[in-house]
Structure 1
Amino acid sequence: MESVTNFSVSLIKGFIDSLRGVTVLLYLDKEINERALSRSPPSEVENSKNKQKQPKVKQESKVLTRVLQSCILNGFIFLLSILIFEYALLPAVKYLVTVVFGHNPGVAHNVWAWMQPFLSMTFRMIWVLPLFLLSKLVNSLWFQVRYCGQRLPPQTGRPQFMSSVSKIIADSLFSLLVQALFLVQSMLVSMLPITYIGELLCLVHMCLLYSLYSFEYKWFNMGWELHKRLTFIESNWPYFLGFGLPLAVLTQIPQSYIISGCVFSIFFPVFILSGNEATPVLGNEYPLRLFSPVVAISNGMFRFVRQGAEVVTQRNR
């Protein structure tokens, strides 16, 4: 009974924390500006009040503006990519197939009937990761500089980052591979021929994946490597299940994956704010090792590539 209670509390707490980003936007700029003003020397404060110089304007926080710009930009980029795929790339490939097999329209029709679903399914399987990369690039420009350093929890202090550039690159590449494989894993479990079970498992996967997306900025700036981030989610999965639930449900409601992608890209920056403000509930007794299979596969792929590189190097010598 106690385990059920802890699970429920963690789930509800995660769900509530995921919505905090919306409320944070209403007071965040004011709080950051007041904190910056309180740290300013008295002479600087007086000058800013009496002389009303331009530097005061430059110090003002504009997190709300940047978040709104990021949401609009993310949605526009994603919608544009979908339109290009649907109305430029697919028609071009179809025309090419028609030209190649023009002497036999039946063969051209059969080839396109096979290629079109394959191309569409491939595009649907990988749309979250490219979208995440675009969002990460846009959001990180202001998040780390303007927000994360000022809003990290008191116990973490200033951003710690990782010890070397090579470690940052390796961690980022490994993280992208794990996330891509985990996305494929979620789509595979959704195909289970058991009523509602496959969809439920897919929803759990997406909740944890979206939680990883949302908290990754915060944890990366705290110096956490990928294995620590994944272990933390697996060990406290009820909280992160609740945290990722709103975004996972919002993206699964639309029947069109175009609308679903736009919903994700628009709301994702707000969930980053929620992740930075949240304090996860700890202490779950039963870890959920959903990331372990893709981590094992990723490790095997990295070892294979490294061994191949070593063999090529030895041959060149």
Structure 2
Amino acid sequence: MESLASQARPAAVLWLAGFFQAARLHRVVSFCASSRVLSIRIAQCFLLNGLIFLGSLLTLKSVVIPTLLWILPEQHNQTGGHLCEHTAAISIYSFLRSGLVEIFYVFWFYPLYVFSFILSTIWYNDIAKHALDVVKSKRLVLTQALDGHNATETEEQPEGFDRVALGIGEQVYSILLLTIFFVEVSVIGYIPYFGKAMNFLLLSLMYAYYCFEYKWNFFAVSLHERLDFFESNWAFFAGFGAPCVLPIFFFSPLTSYGFLAILYPLFVLTAAGTQAEQVIDGLKPAHEGKLQRIPVFFVAKRLTTKVLQLFPVAQKEE
């Protein structure tokens, strides 16, 4: 109990620090002012995911469905005829309304969702690249650092084909790791009582990792370093990711996706401008104890290793 109490203060301090770092959206204005391409990409994200996607949802709920209810009402005027005829008419109207709405989803929303997801993913990478170019040009961080943390020296890293192979291997491992972690987070959300709270915490961590991963990839931070840094300072990243995932818990899945698709690139920009280790080091005097590391990706790592062991190449290398 005493150990838990000693961890509460540093966890709370770092969580709030991460939250406020994510909320520094004025950095978005600074980045956009420094890069015309960045401004265009942000505007495109707002246009596609805000005006078109969310606008379509609003049109469906405020125009299409009320119009269908007017044409095919839920209640039928019983001025004459048998009750069974009125009941049959209402059933037919309900079936037609549902069918027309489903057609709207199948031929518009679902294709638009897939199109938006693919195009937004491309834009997010472009946004991160141009933002980090701005960061690099302004010398806000060093290319050898993980937010000021010394990385492996260049001469100790493999060169040529070995370096390329290592980079590809890390990317494959990272994609598989995060995919398994996403499934893990989704499953935990169905656990009674505390599932939603755990789901919120883990989703916050996951989206924070996504936001900072662009930066770590750009500055060639090894996967081992980034995972170690992330798990050692989990409270900071949980706070950073919290504003990003809030819409998921207040709106329907499609609506929450639209809001998330708008907010996510903004938090990618705030992550690009955040020197996390300097912030964390600066907060050490504010709390008495050191935050204990939590192996956030423990299960995902084990399962990823098991999956990779299914391939002969992975077995041979081990």
| TM-score normalised by the chain length of structure 2 | 0.63
Is 2:231 the counterpart of 1:245? no
Tell me the distance in 1 between the aligned counterparts of 2:178 and 2:48. Answer: 23
Q: Which amino acid aligns with 1:228?
A: E
Deviations 1:224-265 (A, max 9, x none): 1223222221110110110011111122211x2111111211
Counterpart residue number, 1:18: 22
Counterpart residue number, 2:174: 175
Tell me the distance in 2 between the aligned counterparts of 1:263 and 1:178. Answer: 26
Counterpart residue number, 2:31: 28
Counterpart residue number, 1:274: 270
CA RMSD of aligned residues (A): 3.7
Deviations 1:57-83 (A, max 9, x none): xxx644233222234345689889x9x
- Listed as ranges, the matches of 1:36-185 within 5 Å are 61-73=36-48, 135-144=120-129, 146-152=130-136, 154-157=140-143, 164-185=163-184
Contact 2:10-2:291 at 8 Å conserved across structures: no
How far 1:157 sits from its partner (Å)? 3.5
How far 1:158 sits from its partner (Å)? 8.1
Counterpart residue number, 1:110: none
Contact 2:19-2:241 at 8 Å conserved across structures: yes
How far 1:10 sits from its partner (Å)? 0.6
Q: How many residues align?
A: 235
Aligned-partner SS, 1:285: coil
Q: For 2:12, which of 5, 8, 14 is the aligned residue?
A: 8
Q: Which amino acid aligns with 1:147?
A: A
Q: For 1:263, which of 255, 259, 262 is the aligned residue?
A: 259
How far 1:305 sits from its partner (Å)? 1.3
| TM-score normalised by the chain length of structure 1 | 0.63
Contact 1:186-1:206 at 8 Å conserved across structures: yes
Q: 1:235 to 1:64 in 2, by over 3 A?
A: same
Counterpart residue number, 1:295: 301
Aligned-partner SS, 1:304: coil
Q: Which amino acid aligns with 2:202?
A: H
Tell me the distance in 1 between the aligned counterparts of 2:7 and 2:314. Answer: 47
Tell me the distance in 1 between the aligned counterparts of 2:32 and 2:244. Answer: 24
Structure 1, unaligned runs of 5 or more: 33-59, 83-123, 311-317
How far 1:155 sits from its partner (Å)? 4.2
Q: Which amino acid aligns with 2:128?
A: F
Structure 2, unaligned runs of 5 or more: 58-109, 146-150, 285-289
How far 1:140 sits from its partner (Å)? 2.0
Q: Which amino acid aligns with 1:303?
A: Q
Tell me the distance in 2 between the aligned counterparts of 1:156 and 1:251. Answer: 35
Q: 1:198 to 1:63 in 2, by over 3 A?
A: same
Structure with higher Rg: it is: 2
Counterpart residue number, 2:92: none
Q: 1:134 to 1:212 in 2, by over 3 A?
A: farther
Deviations 1:138-179 (A, max 9, x none): 2223432x3212304644148999963333322222221111
Q: Which amino acid aligns with 1:68?
A: A
Tell me the distance in 2 between the aligned counterparts of 1:179 and 1:137. Answer: 18
In percent, how many aligned pairs have the same letter? 22
